[in-house]
Chains A and B, each alone.
Chain A
Amino acid sequence: MSKKSEILSAKPISRRLFTGGIAAGAALAATGLPTRRARAAAPLKIGVLLPRSGHLALIGQQCQRGADIAVPLLADMGHSVTLMNADIESSPDVARTQAEKLIREGAHVLMGAFQSDATAAIAQVAEQKGIPFIVNIAADPAITEQGYKFTFRNFPTSPMLGMGGMSLFKDIFAATGTTPKTAVLMHVNDSFGMSMLKGIQALTPKLNLPFKIVETIAYDPKARDLSIEVAKAKAAGADMHMVVSRLNDAILMVREMVKQQYEPMGIISPGSPGMYEKQFFKALGKYSEYCITNVPWFDPKQEMTSVLGAAFEKAYPDQSYELNIGFTFEAVLIAADAYKRAGSTDSKALAEALRASNIAKRVMIGGPIQFDEKGQNKNLKSAAVQNRGGKPVVVMPKESAEMAPVFPMPGWKARS
């Protein structure tokens, strides 16, 4: 039977039915409790925008795991959130339409988006619609320099990353009593690598670092062979090997260093992916040991870190437990915390609550999560993470360290 004919054939409303309906409605209206309760208990809808396909798919999917695992963990802490996931396909254009779609479908808060260009596009939509947007990862400083009122970033800007990564060198040397005089820098020649190079060159004299970079070697991150580059680095005869890498090239580089018996005092990255990732350990085994990366990292002294780590290991035993997980988890935590304090899904109330965030119990190294007037969390620190016993371990800053740093590292031969 069609809907129209159902309506036509329905019995007319009787006087008794009408009176009963009115009475029931009046009773509901008078108490009002079920409706209000239902509203208060309704979970916060977080629109998660991540590059789960396209050229950044690997990292986007990793971030998504951080968001997914946050929901049950936060539920145990009394937070009620649901995720509305959207794949931005590693494209800022798609990010914009997906953000609008999520808002239309009722997202109370947006979160994302790992890549700076997509994050900038989402921030703009969030600002126009007045919907709070929490940036999990994106380092472009301009994102929080636009005077946006609804954008909040819990990730260091690229200058903060550079400063944090470079200043840790001195701490490592002081803690180990070994100071190299010279260094060689091998770096990828993409935008990331080139901007890191600029930062390193600017910060080395500014921070009065004790070593001199005697050779800078650029290479293609998609290179299949780094023998010439590594031979060049070895020929430079520097004490320390600095590296700005991605994953596959980092593996290639260390393999080549072993092959060419190039044994500097240490391999240290001032802040790049690759050496702390699970595939790096799997591919290199004992040769992955003692490499150091200076990056924002989990705070092993925080209780929440071990809870998250255990849950992640259980849910995703084959995946790397690294900073992308931590910052995405924290982004969901920040939204949930703001919702709890705001007591409402109203976007302005949520934005006010976000501005007043003060979350001491967190997973990443740094002070409490607090946002400045631009929406940037300034209490973020980098850590020196050294590969020890087949996993990345915090060795600096001292207050978060699990082990003391080893520098110089043992030679390749000594590891067998």
Chain B
Amino acid sequence: MSGVSENRVLAGSPSTGEAARGGLIADVPRRALILLGLFAALLLVAPATVGDYLLSVMILVLYYAYLGLAWNVMMGFAGQFSLGHALYIGLGGYTAGALFVHYGLPPWFGMVVGAAVAAVMGGVIGALGFRFGVKGVYFALLTIAFAEFTRILFDHWGWVGASSGLYLPVEYRDTDDLWLLRGSATMFYYVILAMTAGAFILCHWLLQRRVGYYWQAIREDQEAAQTLGIDVFRYKMIAVMLSAAMTAIGGVFYAFYYNNLYPETIFSMHRSIELMLGVIIGGIGTLFGPILGAIVLTTLGEMLTGLTEDLGLDGIKQMSYGVALLVIIVYRPGGLWPWLRRRLGLEKPR
């Protein structure tokens, strides 16, 4: 898998482990750091230079980048395929949203509870799957099954609004309230930017630690990893629970940004696919792939939306979107990031 070599370069191969322990950026090429700095600076000043519409598109980009990073922990790093990550978005969103609506508890508290609930749910799915040897696509089916029955449960649970949905109160405000996550698009932009940056740094850090190497070993050859003494069950569980918790935090953002939650929308299979598409396009198992994938997909989507309106042909967006994805998958099967990184000369000499 191409992700292995990508990760070795980014996270440092086993031989460079000592350098990696020297700090988060010790192993990152200078050129990459400069580009990353420029990229971060651009993102930081963006709200001052773009309008509301572009800002909302950028929020979407960062939101999908964040979710992609979360999904990547489980699939990209540990090789456990989940097709039901919408479950954790929903659990996070509903937990924080319901605590806010019913008890006035701030989203930051809801975030902790939501992440814990999702981690437990991830743990249950993981335990069931890993204990009973459910692997590959069958494990993916298990994740879908949990997302589906949770959707049905929420569809009939009056406390969270059942199928009528849960609405968070919206009011006109002149000021931003970061504590209650009520306010302007600019505030939400910086929140999701911080979340994405945090997830990126966390993933980078994890890949430099023992757990990162173990995950990659499990992903490449589980039996070999087990033979080497790695507690496969334990490390797979860590990946699933961490990924679930991170995704749930994304769900909390969704709840407070959109202010309405419907089981049919938030737990849908469509949402699960949506969040992993960016990672596949950007490069599974890479650090920057989910971010690049989210940028490409969202930008492509917006461009095609414009084209659809100009041509007046409904559905052409979905068709063009599919064709574009097909082209990317055929010509860059390892994702766009490994290719782009080579073009930018960011690879570390071996």
Contacts and interface: CB of A to CB of B under 8 A. Distances in A.
Interface of A: 52-54, 57, 61, 85-87, 89, 91-94, 96-98, 100-101, 103-104, 116-117, 120-121, 124, 127-130, 140-142, 145-149, 158, 191-192, 194-195
A146 B166 CA distance: 11
Instruction: Name the residue among B60, B164, B260, B315 with the largest chain A CB count within 10 angstroms.
Output: B260
Given A146-B169, A191-B155, A100 B164 contact: no
Nearest to A50: B314
A191 B258 contact: no
B165 A100 contact: no
Nearest to B52: A100
B315 A142 contact: no
Contact of A120 (B165, B263, B314, B315): B165
B186 interface: no
Contact of B56 (A89, A91, A100, A146): A100
Contact of A61 (B162, B265, B314): B314
A377 B171 CA distance: 22
A117 B309 contact: no
5 contacts: A86-B309, A87-B317, A96-B56, A124-B258, A195-B163
Q: Top 3 A-B pairs ranked by shortest CB distance? A: A191-B163, A120-B260, A52-B314
Majority-rule SS of A interface residues: helix
Contacts of B162: 195
A191 B308 contact: no
Given A94-B305, A98-B305, A194-B163, 5 more contacts: A61-B314, A92-B260, A96-B258, A103-B52, A117-B265
B260 A87 contact: no
A117 B165 contact: yes
B100 to A, nearest CB: 14
Interface in B182-208: none
A127 B170 contact: yes
Contacts of A103: 52-53
Contacts of B77: none
B308 to A, nearest CB: 6
A120 B317 contact: no
Contacts of B258: 92-93, 96, 121, 124
A149 B170 CA distance: 11
A89 B316 CA distance: 11
Given A87-B309, A128-B172, A140 B314 contact: no
Contacts of B60: 93, 97
B47 interface: no
B192 to A, nearest CB: 13
A200 to B, nearest CB: 15
A141 B167 CA distance: 11
Contacts of B265: 91-92, 117
Nearest to B57: A97
B161 interface: yes
Contacts of B170: 124, 127-128, 146, 148
B226 interface: no
Contacts of B209: none
B56 A97 contact: yes
Interface in B306-337: 308-309, 314-315, 317-318
B259 interface: yes
A87 B165 CA distance: 23
A86 B53 CA distance: 14
A194 B155 contact: yes
B262 A117 contact: yes
Contacts of A87: 305, 308-309, 314, 317
Contacts of A146: 167, 169-170
Contacts of B52: 100, 103-104, 129
B236 to A, nearest CB: 31
A85 B165 contact: no
Given A120-B165, A124-B259, A141-B164, A104 B317 contact: no
Contacts of B315: 52-53, 57
Interface string B280-297: 000000000000000000
Contact of B171 (A52, A93, A120, A147): A147
A270 B163 CA distance: 19
A96 B52 CA distance: 11
Contacts of B263: 191
Nearest to B163: A191
B310 to A, nearest CB: 11
B317 A53 contact: yes
B220 interface: no
Contacts of B302: 97
B264 interface: yes
Nearest to B166: A142
Contacts of A98: 305
Given A87-B314, A87-B317, A104-B51, A142 B262 contact: no
A103 B52 CA distance: 9
Contacts of A91: 265, 270
A297 B120 CA distance: 49
A145 B168 CA distance: 11
Contacts of A116: 164-165, 262
A148 B264 CA distance: 24
Contact of B164 (A89, A96, A140, A149): A140
A141 B57 CA distance: 29
B264 A191 contact: yes
Contacts of B161: 142
B260 A124 contact: yes
